Structure 1
Amino acid sequence: MDSGHAAPDPDRAPGPAPAPVLRLRSVSRIHGSGDRAVTALHNVSLSFPHGSFTAVMGPSGSGKSTLLQCAAGLDRPTSGSVRLGATELTGLGERRLTLLRRSRIGFVFQSFNLLPALTAEQNVALPLRLAGRRPGKEDVRAALDRVGLADRARHRPAELSGGQQQRVALARALITRPDVLFGDEPTGALDTRTGHRVLGLLRETVDRDGRTVVMVTHDPVAAARADRVVFLVDGRITGELATPDAESVAARMTGLEAAAARKATAQC
């Protein structure tokens, strides 16, 4: 039966791969100067394709949070390039960078960062208001419904559990339909069952909506929900795992942490 699809032409060259939504090229971040200078990132180059889920892991002090902050435009690299689509972030002034973050980047942090005086629906609508857009009530309720909290729209953060607050934070991050969603230990303050639910929602934003997610985590189980895991040590990329599972991620982290401990001991 004719399926209606033309047979592929074996002589036709494949088209170019789609441009990544986010690219870091030779990014370094140095804090301080002179003898007190500390290199948090050293010549890091990474690309994040559209509709991908990347976890970033490494021993304590490896530069994970600095990488996320530079990639998200929250911190400026000392050198190198950070490009979101066709926009070079490192050349933007503070006002334009702020506007870009409000419209094209979403954030979910370990500490939720909800405003306590606002209801769940008001917290979710806040990024739109800050961007000068009038939030539609239906859109806000749909965002809360997406994370299973439509019936908590008028509750304030103190009236919600930790897991519910994080789901409100996720709805808030997604309401602007960002190009990239960044998570900094988004399940770090949650119990195992609630953390799994939040990870499932992150995974769904990639698979169903085609969003790009970049998540810093210390948890191999959380990292296993990603498409790949990028490992950092002393501000340098030391390797990746594609289609990871929790056991392989844990084994790699055990080796990296043991090597870091040996290095620290040798320097004492």
Structure 2
Amino acid sequence: MDNDAIRLRCVSRRYGAGDSTVAALDEVSLSFPAGTFTAVMGPSGSGKSTLLQCAAGLDRPMSGSVTVGGTELTGLSETRLTLLRRERIGFVFQSFNLLPSLTAEQNVALPLRLAGRRPSRARVREVLEQVGLGGRARHRPTEMSGGQQQRVALARALITRPEVLFGDEPTGALDSGTSREVLTLLRGMVDGEGQTIIMVTHDPVAASYADRVVFLVDGRVGGELAGASADDIAARMTKLEAVPC
């Protein structure tokens, strides 16, 4: 239990009111051990993004508890929650969200500048090297491919040495070859550096890079697979999507 990077206990989150209330998460309990790679999958509307947002402290559950590395999020003020996200959690999204007027190294340094910290050029170069872009530090986003831009976004997420890296469809905008490169990079961070990664994806191939796949259905955990192939994951997804509401 002590090596859980993230722990959710009986987490529920509803949206709307009255008859239009939707249960995005319904009593979800999950643990994500440190140094592991977990993919989260499920049919559209199953609660994947809500799970990610609650686990990362971007959204507050209506009931239940979320713990990040031993810190219970429920009672934290917005200020402390913001600090925790800034210092201990990294995010990579489908859209790269890079500032076009900034170079790769300036985009990577941005989270530290926004936090009022002076970024070390050596540290910025270190994370760019880590994602294979050591020679692209002075290039702007328009001078890079989609895969290179996503690597810059990854380096930006890693600059603070986050305990947990969250990915929301991080390869969704990439072609299959570039997607494989980014996923191999993520896998290497888990195996080589003990990074904890939680990734929402709709792609069975992407999910097959993870240690385990957690399936959500209608806001509840619908099972999981460990060390599964893309074909096994796709077969499980087909069954989930075939279940009538």
Same fold by TM (over 0.5)?
A: yes
Cα distance between partner residues in 1 of 2:160 and 2:37? 19
Deviations 1:102-153 (A, max 9, x none): 1100000000111122111011111122223211111101111111111111
Which of 121, 124, 138 is matched with 1:154 structurally? Answer: 138
Cα distance between partner residues in 1 of 2:192 and 2:114? 27
Which 4+ residue blocks in structure 1 deviate beyond 4 angstroms? none
Q: Aligned runs of 1:250-265 on 2, under 5 Å?
A: 250-259=234-243, 262-263=244-245
State whether structure 2 residue 167 is matched by structure 1 residue 179: no
Cα distance between partner residues in 1 of 2:208 and 2:5? 22
Alignment correspondent of 2:121: 137
TM-score between both structures, scaled by the size of structure 1: 0.89
Alpha-carbon shift at residue 19 of structure 1 (Å): 3.0
Cα distance between partner residues in 2 of 1:99 and 1:117? 27
In structure 2, runs of 5+ residues without a counterpart are: none
Q: Secondary structure at the match of 1:186?
A: coil
State whether structure 2 residue 202 is matched by structure 1 residue 218: yes
Which of 231, 234, 238 is matched with 2:215 structurally? Answer: 231
Query: Which AA in structure 2 matches 1:19?
Result: N
Cα distance between partner residues in 1 of 2:143 and 2:207? 30
Alignment correspondent of 2:47: 63
Alignment correspondent of 1:3: none
More relative contact order in 1 or in 2 (CA 8 Å, sep 6+)? 2
Query: Which AA in structure 2 matches 1:136?
Result: S
Cα distance between partner residues in 2 of 1:166 and 1:95? 29
RMSD (CA atoms): 1.0
Greater Rg over alpha carbons, structure? 1
Q: Secondary structure at the match of 1:237?
A: strand
Cα distance between partner residues in 2 of 1:121 and 1:38? 42
Cα distance between partner residues in 1 of 2:193 and 2:2? 17
State whether structure 2 residue 33 is matched by structure 1 residue 49: yes
State whether structure 2 residue 21 is matched by structure 1 residue 37: yes
State whether structure 2 residue 233 is matched by structure 1 residue 244: no
Alignment correspondent of 1:28: 12
Alignment correspondent of 1:209: 193
In structure 1, runs of 5+ residues without a counterpart are: 1-16, 264-268
